Amino acid sequence: MAKLKPEHELEERFSFTMDTLGHDVINNNQAVLSYLELLLANPGLSPDVRKYAHRAVSHVRVSTTLIENMRKIALVRTLTPGELGHADVVEAVRTVSEELRDVFPAKKIRVEFAPKVPKAEAVGGAQIKDLVLNMLLDLAMLDSGDEIFIRVQLKEGADWQLVAEDKNAELPPLLRTGSIESIYGQDVSISAKLSCVLFAKTMSVALGGDFEAAGLDAGRGRGVRFTLTLRKAGPT
């Protein structure tokens, strides 16, 4: 009987396989986006076809983000606390707010963000922007409207807290009755729909912070609040 591989060797092989597959999927997605952009450049495109092409663009871009999420979580697990680096939460929110409009070209998205501090350095380096992207991306996906308004607040305490709310988003039933961790016990289709939430929880905890989801109005079943907690970066 063949001996079992050491755990670290199995993890390395899994990471290599995921990295290779992820690279191929992202390349394929980029090719699909190129064809969609050619299609959308046609001025004679009917409104219905243009609408569905925009939706296809959104799905492809979200798919790319989900693949990159898995690769980034695997990377962070290999870093020591000293290798994580710092990043400005304020800049991350402003950058992601612009990028969000490209992900959902068929929707009108407005992000209100008026921080009381010019900078908010947090532990996490490039992962800070990834966390903010997944946080706002999931809020936008949970809002079925054509016009989306997201309100973001930055709170300062022992840690940084980033709170994002969408009053028209709908919190999935699973998150109304259970914790984010309970998603792992569900079937693949449910986990896929909430993969941005899973990423935010996993990555924030890996960075020494946390991520929580809550409903705003239990009676209406609408309104979602995401709270991201990040460790403050020390003086450089």
The pLDDT, as a whole number, for residue 53 is 79
Distance CA(14)–CA(22), nearest Å, equals 12
The pLDDT, as a whole number, for residue 155 is 97
The pLDDT, as a whole number, for residue 117 is 95
Average pLDDT, the chain: 79
The pLDDT, as a whole number, for residue 144 is 87
Report the share of the chain in percent with pLDDT over 90.
33
Tell me: pLDDT of 123 over 90: yes
The pLDDT, as a whole number, for residue 193 is 57
Distance CA(43)–CA(162), nearest Å, equals 41
Tell me: pLDDT of 215 over 90: no
The pLDDT, as a whole number, for residue 219 is 61
The neighbour count for residue 160, using CB atoms within 10 Å, is 23
The pLDDT, as a whole number, for residue 217 is 79
Q: Bigger pLDDT: 162 or 138?
A: 162
The pLDDT, as a whole number, for residue 3 is 42
Reported as a pLDDT band with limits 50, 70 and 90, residue 2 is very low
Q: What is the pLDDT of residues 6-54, one digit of tens each?
A: 444 544 554 555 555 555 666 676 777 776 788 878 888 888 888 887 7
Q: What is the pLDDT of residues 145-190, one digit of tens each?
A: 999 999 999 999 999 999 999 999 988 776 766 666 655 555 444 4
For the chain, how are helix, strand and coil distributed in percent, rounded to 5?
A: 55, 20, 25
Per the listing, tokens 């079925």 go with 144
DSSP state of 184: G
pTM higher than 0.75 = no
Pairing of strands 210-217, 147-156: unpaired
Check the CA dihedral 98-50-189-20 and report its sign.
negative
The pLDDT, as a whole number, for residue 5 is 44
The pLDDT, as a whole number, for residue 77 is 61
The pLDDT, as a whole number, for residue 80 is 61
Q: What is the pLDDT of residues 221-233, one digit of tens each?
A: 689 999 999 999 9
* Average pLDDT of span 113-139: 93
